[in-house]
Amino acid sequence: MAGSERTVVWFRRDLRIDDNPALAAAARDGAVLPVFIWCPADEGQFYPGRCSRWWLKQSLPHLSQSLESLGCPLVLIRAESTLEALLRCIDSVGATRLVYNHLYDPVSLVRDDKIRKELSALGISIQSFNGDLLYEPWEIYDDSGLAFTTFNMYWEKCMELPIDISPSLAPWKLVPVPGLESVRSCSVDDLGLESSKDEESSNALLRRAWSPGWRNAEKMLEEFVSHGLLEYSKHGMKVEGATTSLLSPYLHFGEVSVRKVYQLVRMQQIKWENEGTSEAEESIHFFMRSIGLREYSRYLCFNFPFTHEKSLLGNLKHYPWKVDEERFKSWRQGMTGYPLVDAGMRELWATGWTHNRIRVIISSFAVKFLLIPWTWGMKYFWDVLLDADLESDILGWQYISGSLPDGHELSRLDNPEVQGQKYDPDGVYVRTWIPELARMPTEWIHHPWDAPSCILEVAGVELGFNYPKPIVELHIARECLDDAISTMWQLDTAEKLAELDGEVVEDNLSNIKTFDIPKVVLRETSPCALPIDQRVPHASSNDHNLKSKVLKASNRSSICVDMIRSSKMEATSSVANSPVSRKRSYCETAFHVPSYSSSAEVHSHIQDHGGSLVGPSRYLLQEAGRNCVDEVEDSSTADSGSSISRQRKAA
């Protein structure tokens, strides 16, 4: 060893041995104490959701086994205070240094700054490293020294700079600190990552699809580069099947470094260029863009740390969000009456995962159709996603809600029917996740409300009973969105006038209640059973009023209020036996029903069988108590679905 220093290595979201700068530095300089601290109190409102905690529970033993094979086991600690736990570890072994890799989300930035100041004041040496990004956020600014607020300009600047992609070598041996036995370590079960039997039963489904751990992450990366990268740009238009890299949860927990991802992709690119494989260029471009979006999400959080609760663009502070918990509940349950949206939400409930294109569609629907506060959607994604990543979550929801200079236009309203025809033209995805519509002909699968009654009867669909009618019609949604934007600009003008008189106008989001989202458990029920409703936290009537001080002279447009209609409510990969194929195989529904591609087939079936068919057995989601956000990407400038214009509404 080059030194005799005693160092505490603080693992967080860098659960790997290979290319771990903090671990490599500690191993190089002397004896080490690897520590992982689970402190729910420090997480606050962003306490990880069920799926995310399941992943962590599987990954920690994998890391511990690897560290132990190198000579030093991982110490697991459940604590009420991360700072106090670190101090106990340092005192127990007489350590003089603490090392860790950077994190960039708002919660971690505050906590890390506090810990650095406290320990430095006690004479403890603190060193932190870049183990998560290609570029540190403080390295990229414009010519005036200001932070970029558009992705394209940010990424162009990044591409002009050199990248150090040489990974830190994994240590071949670790020397444990003397006195290691005096540090109290608990088991991974004692961390309390699975809080109930219901969670354990739900998580059993996840084991069939995913294999957490840093070695499994490297296998997944190599498999994607070898088999999936070449077709990546084509698969971006498909929402069924395993059409993405599936690397986002591994990247979030730091089981594979972004430097290694970049290195392998560039090596493959050079290989294809030498072979003359020109069709790979577009796929490389789109994949590197997705890596860039992940970098940009950390960049925004670091430079604008308020973006988890406020819009980046100031004019949206007056946007009249609808604090409607019933609509929010219908959206979460996949009961909006729009098949593609509902399929996406049900897949999200059941698996903690959905294609990034579907994430764009369902989040856009919540914000633009239902006018639900984007912060509610962001928090829900954080609670249920397997790859929940706060920085990417913030970027995605700000982008969709028009809160970024280069985000979706605030007036843009995408038609879910057209989006379904574009991204799920055969209806495979919808039929997988909405078994009520499994027998609907393809021509009606994305707009069953337009289907003739005879088609609905044979398909076993009764709108308003076993599948809801649309929660809001397209033209009504268009009118409400336009009225909301009009009100926003009136309030913005009123604020400017009020400022002249010294008044202060509040941000509408500051008056909207933030509440915890119920966790859900996937259970198989009988075909006739109805889903038990998810619990929605009670809100007092005062919470439903958005309070903003405005001049009495300003005229405020009335916002349309849509009546919510009452309602009762993946294909396997081509790579057999691979983690990718297992990812999708567990979520296929266990039933076989005929599907129809045209009305002619339906009429033929009526003549052959005469009568409607019994609905298939299906999975339903059920509430199981309370629970205290892959990046959202729209990789092209084209609409993800046809935008509903004011003229179309009038027609």
Distance CA 589, CA 509 (A): 40
Strand 5-11 with 618-623, pairing: unpaired
135 known member of a binding site:
no
CB 564 within 8 A of CB 326: yes
154 known member of a binding site:
no
What's the token pair of residue 397?
A: 């929801």
Strand partners, 36: 11, 76
CB 605 within 8 A of CB 231: no
Cβ neighbours for 337, distance < 8 A, ≥ 6 positions apart: 449, 463, 467, 468, 469, 470, 471, 565, 567
CB 70 within 8 A of CB 651: no
164 known member of a binding site:
no
Handedness of CA 519, 524, 527, 529 (dihedral sign): negative
Grouping H, G, I as helix, E, B as strand and the rest as coil, residue 431 is helix
Q: How far is CA 182 from CA 90, 185, 651, in A?
A: 11, 9, 76
Element (H, E) at 558: none
143 known member of a binding site:
no
Cβ neighbours for 573, distance < 8 A, ≥ 6 positions apart: 241, 242, 580, 581, 583, 584
Helix axes 356-364, 339-351, angle to 10 degrees: 120
Distance CA 331, CA 364 (A): 11
389 known member of a binding site:
yes
Distance CA 271, CA 268 (A): 5
Cβ neighbours for 565, distance < 8 A, ≥ 6 positions apart: 337, 464, 468, 469, 470, 471
Burial of 123 (0-12, 13-18, 19+ CB in 10 A): exposed
Amino acid letter, 231: E
Grouping H, G, I as helix, E, B as strand and the rest as coil, residue 449 is helix
Distance CA 70, CA 72 (A): 6
Element (H, E) at 206: helix 197-207
Exposure pattern of 338-369 as b/e (b: 16+ CB <10 Å)?
bbbbbbbbbbbbbbbbbbbbbbbbbbbbbbbb
Cβ neighbours for 167, distance < 8 A, ≥ 6 positions apart: 18, 19, 257, 259, 260, 263
Distance CA 533, CA 420 (A): 27
Q: Which DSSP letter does residue 10 get?
A: E
Cβ neighbours for 606, distance < 8 A, ≥ 6 positions apart: 454, 458
639 known member of a binding site:
no
Other CB atoms within 10 A of residue 565 CB: 15
Distance CA 249, CA 252 (A): 5
Q: Where is the binding site, in residues? A: 232, 244-248, 287, 387-389
Q: Where is the binding site for FAD, in residues? A: 232, 244-248, 287, 387-389
